[in-house]
Amino acid sequence: MEWTVWVGFAAGLLISTVTAPVGVSGAVFLLPVQLSVLGVPSPAVTPTNLLFNVVAGPGALWRYRRDGALRAGLARRLVAWTLPGVVIGAAVRVFALPGPGVFRVLVAVLLLPLGAWLCLRTLRPARRRSDTAEPSARVLAALALTVGAVGGIYGLGGGSLLGPILAARGIPMARLAPATLAATFSTSLAGAAAYVVLATLSSGPVAPDWTLGLACGLGGLVGGYLGARLQPHLPESALRLLLGMLAATLGTLYATQAMVR
């Protein structure tokens, strides 16, 4: 058990350091580590990932709060609309989608095109940017609600989906990263609580792996702070490309695993 705790801590630290600058908690990249290396069963891997987000989130958020980046209305709107979705998603995950096969396929279908889309939009010349207006309040609410449900189903927190979409619509990374991380933290807190309740209604492995979730989360707490501190020193185009490549890479990984299995 001891080696898994240290592997979880190291994985959380490294992943969060890379992903926090682009508004992603890193939980989406922790999933394959939990499934393939640490042996966390499905669907318990989902609440374990949410627990990771809850423990790791304050590291990056504290740094962004010190910089004043959490005071914008974008963070409040994302939090307000992702919260109801994550509770719905948690129930769907437990009672309708317990198997890892469909899980891998849908993650690949979601993230691979999103990542490629963001990379292409970032590399497109500036004169072609007329189609990157920020979404309206109504569109943003619908998007956040949908992403909250998807995050509740797959334990993604939502940042890995909201980030590429909103970045491709022209929202600067300095505004986007703190807002998506705030939404990820709040939805993960609600989702983890929902899974604890649902564990009493299901005979399967629904409760989170508390030891691994806390170990990974503590690593993510440190890594998230370091990543958030690094963000202001990175150019906008580099951050957008990093976010796109992270999403596309993960989508490719899950697509490969789905085909092999």
Task: Work out the pLDDT band at 130, boundaries 50, 70, 90.
Answer: very low
Burial of 120 (0-12, 13-18, 19+ CB in 10 A): exposed
The yes-or-no verdict on residue 181 having pLDDT over 70 is yes
Q: Give the pLDDT of residue 202.
A: 64
Q: In Å, what is the CA distance from 96 to each residue of 5, 13, 93, 258? A: 30, 32, 6, 19
Highest-confidence segment of 24-33, 67-76, 216-225, 249-258: 216-225
Each residue's pLDDT tens digit, 73-107: 888 888 888 888 877 777 776 666 555 566 677 77
pLDDT (0 to 100) of residue 219:
95
DSSP string, the chain: -HHHHHHHHHHHHHHHHHHGGGT--SHHHHHHIIIIII-PPTTTHHHHHHHHHHHHHHHHHHHHHHTTTT-SHHHHHHHHHHHHHHHHHHHHHHHT---HHHHHHHHHHHHHHHHHHHHHHHHS-GGGGGG-PPPPHHHHHHHHHHHHHHHHHHT-TTHHHHHHHHHHTT--HHHHHHHHHHHHHHHHHHHHHHHHHHHTT-SSS-S--HHHHHHHHHHHHHHHHHHHHHGGGS-HHHHHHHHHHHHHHHHHHHHHHHHH-
* Residue 81, both tokens: 């609309």
Cα(92)–Cα(71) distance, integer angstroms: 33
Q: Mean pLDDT score of the chain, rounded to an integer?
A: 81
**Entry pTM:** 0.79
According to the model, what pLDDT value does residue 154 have? Answer: 65
User: Tell me, what's the pLDDT at 28?
Assistant: 75
Stretch 22-50: mean pLDDT: 80
pLDDT of residue 170: 77
- Give yes or no for residue 50 having a pLDDT over 50: yes
The tens digit of pLDDT for each residue in 190-207 reads 877 777 776 677 666 667
The Cα–Cα gap between 14 and 216 comes to: 10
Q: Within 10 A of 204 (CB to CB), how many other CB atoms are there? A: 13
The tokens for 39 are 């042996």
How many percent of the chain have pLDDT more than 90?
17
Q: What is the pLDDT of residue 98?
A: 52
Give me the percent of the chain exceeding a pLDDT of 70: 83
- In whole angstroms, give the CA distance from residue 45 to residue 187: 16
Q: Which of 111-125, 212-226, 236-250 has the highest mean pLDDT?
A: 212-226
Query: What is the mean predicted confidence (pLDDT) over 128-150?
Result: 76
What is the spatial distance between Cα 185 and Cα 146, in angstroms, rounded to a whole number?
16
Q: Which residue has the higher pLDDT, 204 or 232?
A: 232
- Amino acid 126: pLDDT: 53
**pLDDT of 120 over the 90 cut:** no
Q: What is the residue extent of each domain of the chain?
A: 2-260
Confidence band, pLDDT 50/70/90 cuts, at residue 129: very low
Q: What is the pLDDT of residue 188?
A: 82
